[in-house]
């Protein structure tokens, strides 16, 4: 049985030299492994070569597993395991049609991503990158009443687009800061989850209009693609802060740039963009009121190691024909 592992597992020592190795079970070798031994993305030609005839594939969210790649893989491919909770890089309709099982890594990155979201929100609303730069370039001269003022969370209204696992975890961490009111939107109300936070289910337009802080934590779907656009930003308060930790395509970045540059909204913090990485000459990078991170929501050592182990165990269980620890139901 052949297995292609696209990503080197984080923090796990590889006892075999790069290339082809074996994964052993009590009954002998379970499968042979061809590993791309680098943190840099595997070139598409290499992935296509390696996946041809493979029974399993472990991939990253940066890898597009589309119809073409599935055709190249052929009928042997039975299991795909992705080192992510998001699955928008997988052609799920095609995968389902071919009877391929999919493993993913939900839950294990919830806390790390929620911590990052809160960090990004505070960094953005209190203008920390600007303040650090002022210290470095000599802009810090004396104490001034309104210099480097930002916006605080106490008595504020926070709107969350998508009250899933991560959205709830973000709200729980923000509540002790003195948030007065939580609003949320999504496909449908979640009364049980919302009760703990006393969160109100509202329309997207109401959430945009009434929130002091907006955190995008929804999945990328056809319904959410481009959801945060010119109309959305025009409804927001001029003092509002916008945070996105979901997927870049949920936001129309040209509309966001105009909203920030014109003062339509106060600031934005992004951990996700379109494309990734964002070109260094992108207009958003010229704005002081836009903080952009390189998609590091789950980037803690513990979380990435746990994700790696879960992804590997999903793959091995699928190859054995056993229940996966975390299988995506197609």
Going by C-alpha positions, the residue among 257, 271, 260 that lies closest to residue 215 is 271
Say if residues 165 and 106 touch (Cβ distance below 8 Å): yes
Cα–Cα dist 133/141, whole Å? 13
- Cβ atoms within 10 Å, residue 150: 17
Mean pLDDT of 68-73: 96
Q: What is the mean pLDDT of the chain?
A: 91
CB atoms within 10 A of CB 300: 16
- What pLDDT, in 10s, does the model give residues 43-69? 999 999 999 999 999 999 989 999 999
∠ CA 163-168-174, nearest 5°, is: 120
Per-residue tokens: 273: 């963009």
Average pLDDT over residues 198-212: 98
Rounded distance, CA 287 to CA 302, Å?
A: 33
What sign for the dihedral angle of Cα 153, 176, 292, 211?
negative
Beta bridge partners of 290: 268
Residue 23 has pLDDT above 60, yes or no: no
Query: Please, where are the H alpha helices in 52-105?
Result: 67-73, 92-97
pLDDT band at residue 168 using 50, 70 and 90 as cut-offs = very high
Which letter does DSSP use for residue 323 in this model?
A: P
Q: How far is CA 191 from CA 111, 144, 173, 196, in A?
A: 22, 46, 19, 9
pLDDT, position 38: 87
Identify the residue with better confidence: 283 or 34.
283
List residues with catalytic annotation: 295
Are 180 and 195 spatial neighbours (Cβ–Cβ below 8 Å)? no
**What is the Cβ-side half-sphere exposure of residue 13, based on CA atoms within 13 angstroms?**
1
Contact 97, 255 (CB under 8 A): no
Is cis: bond before 26, omega within 30 of 0? no
Q: For the whole model, what pTM was predicted?
A: 0.86
State residue 27's pLDDT score: 55
Q: Is the pLDDT of residue 19 over 70?
A: no
Is residue 188 within a helix (H) or strand (E), and if so which, with residue range? none
Is 234 within 8 Å of 258 (Cβ atoms)? Answer: no
pLDDT tens-place string over residues 233-265:
999 999 999 999 999 999 999 999 999 999 999
């Amino acid at each position: 049985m052949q297995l292609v592992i696209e990503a080197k597992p984080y923090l796990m020592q590889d006892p075999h030299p790069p290339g082809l190795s074996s994964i052993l079970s009590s009954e002998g070798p379970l499968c042979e492994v061809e590993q791309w031994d680098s943190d840099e993305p595997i070139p598409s030609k290499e992935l296509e070569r390696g996946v041809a005839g493979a029974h399993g594939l472990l991939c990253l969210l940066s890898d597009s597993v589309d119809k073409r790649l599935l055709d190249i893989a052929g009928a042997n491919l039975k299991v795909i395991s992705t080192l992510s909770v998001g699955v928008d890089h997988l052609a799920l309709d095609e995968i389902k049609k071919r009877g391929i099982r999919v493993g993913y890594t939900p839950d294990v990155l919830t806390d790390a991503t929620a911590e990052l979201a809160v960090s990004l929100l505070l960094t953005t609303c209190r203008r920390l990158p600007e303040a650090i730069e002022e210290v470095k370039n000599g802009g810090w001269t004396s104490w001034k009443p309104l210099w480097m003022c930002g916006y605080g969370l106490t008595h504020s209204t926070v709107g969350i687009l998508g009250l899933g696992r991560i959205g709830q975890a973000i709200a729980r961490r923000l509540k002790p800061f003195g948030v007065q009111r939580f609003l949320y939107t999504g496909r449908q109300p979640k009364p049980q989850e919302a009760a703990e936070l006393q969160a109100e289910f509202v329309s997207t337009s109401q959430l945009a209009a009434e929130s002091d802080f907006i955190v995008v934590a929804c999945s990328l779907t056809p319904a959410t693609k481009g959801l945060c656009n010119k109309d959305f930003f025009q409804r927001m308060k001029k003092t509002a802060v916008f945070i996105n930790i979901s997927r870049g395509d949920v936001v129309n970045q040209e509309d966001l740039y105009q909203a920030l540059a014109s003062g339509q909204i106060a600031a934005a913090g992004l951990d996700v963009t379109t494309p990734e990485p964002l070109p260094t000459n992108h207009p958003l990078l010229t704005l002081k009121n836009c903080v952009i991170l390189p998609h590091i929501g789950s980037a803690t050592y513990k979380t990435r190691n746990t994700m790696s182990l879960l992804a590997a165990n999903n793959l091995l269980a699928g190859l054995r024909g056993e229940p996966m620890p975390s299988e995506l139901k197609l």
